[in-house]
Amino acid sequence: TDGSPQPPVTVGTGSPDGGAGAAGGGGEAFGDRSLNQGLSVLVGLALCVTMLGLGCAVELSQLGQQLRRPVGLLLALLGQFVAMPLLAFLLALIFALDEVAAVAVLLCGCCPGGNLSNLMSVLVDGDMNLSIIMTASSTLLALFLMPLCLWIYSRHWINTAVVQLLPLGAVSLTLGSTLLPIGLGVLIRYRHPRAADLLVKISLWSLLVTLVILFILTGTMLGPDLLAHIPASVYAIAVLMPLVGYALGYGLATVFKMPPHCRRTVSLETGCQNVQLCTAILKLTFPPELIGSMYMFPLLYALFQSAEAGLFVLLYKMYGRDSHKQDALGEEEDTDISYKKLKEEEVADTSYGTVTTEEHNSIQMEPTQTAL
């Protein structure tokens, strides 16, 4: 070391399972400056590509319709900045997390929706327009509400070094930097729709690839021994938080008396967080010696939210899709019946003769007169 004093980190006192030492002791693993800078560049690029893809998915006409009837905006507000931050705060209290782990969990809970929900909404026959509008709305609302939620819910750990150094200004700056790729994506959608469709697909694939790369790189830099010492409570929260988020979103849509396909959409939008943004904030705004292995929490969350969403998609494909088809078939049958009645009436009005049956199975045509 260069002999410079380390920040007065008071970790390891708030967790009964001793997990804070693992959480805060991962700073030395980031000592390789080249790997550390490379990871920062990868995180920044992943965030830019994700936000560009989000912007390319937004159509101005649909945005105007949603603003005139802002149900999607309201659901995004309630789901992403009321339900999820409160859930993250309660889980951090229930599992008695130390301040380092609590900040990582709160950051993830206060993040806006992610692009994963758009892909999953397609797979469960959801409302794609509602999904995109909710993701875009929560991303824009995050500029103001995410720092506010972090400030409110971090009060419980206010006497710790991590929270006292919580860089709300840097968080706001990182959020503000996402506006440029989003605006560029909206412009590309307006001018070049085909190119926008291609960029949306690229952003979805890059989401999966970068998460895998980040998981491998972070795990390599931190070391398997340190990862094994991440508290079991952190893993439990990474499992429970998206699961409860999906349930809260479905319940929220039920309260608003939305149709089933919209309920599935809101459920996925609420539980799926923008983990690229969470990773970027942790990586670009916090010193490594403060956060350490908690860089892994958003990646763990991404892993479990994807697995649980994939399980929901599988269950829907196996069981729920039949009822969806029956509902659609019922609507078509009603239309066919009314169409048949209409045709029968037309035939009766324009008939040139009627067929009557007599005894001994004889058939006789009775001519009718038509007015010319």
What are 98-157's pLDDT values in tens digits? 888 899 999 999 999 887 888 788 888 888 888 888 888 888 888 889 999 999 998 888
Q: Say whether pLDDT at 326 is over 90.
A: no
Of residues 365 and 352, more confidently modeled:
365
Mean pLDDT of 246-257: 93
In a domain, 12, yes or no: no
Where in the sequence is the domain holding 255, given as residue range(s)?
41-318
**121-135, 195-209, 315-329: range with lowest mean pLDDT:** 315-329
In a domain, 110, yes or no: yes
Of residues 93 and 1, more confidently modeled:
93
CA count, 13 A, side-chain hemisphere, 74: 10
Q: Which helix or strand (DSSP H or E) is residue 357 part of?
A: strand 353-357
In a domain, 293, yes or no: yes
**What CATH number should be reported for the domain holding residue 120?**
1.20.1530.20
| H-assigned helices in the chain | 20-24, 33-56, 60-68, 71-78, 84-94, 99-110, 116-123, 128-153, 161-164, 168-177, 179-191, 193-222, 224-228, 232-255, 260-271, 275-285, 288-291, 296-315, 321-349
Give the pLDDT band of residue 352 (cuts 50, 70, 90).
very low
Q: What is the pTM of this model?
A: 0.72
Q: pLDDT value at position 297?
A: 87
Q: What is the mean pLDDT of the chain?
A: 75
What is the number of domains present in the chain? 1
In a domain, 98, yes or no: yes
In a domain, 9, yes or no: no
In a domain, 326, yes or no: no
In a domain, 217, yes or no: yes
In a domain, 230, yes or no: yes
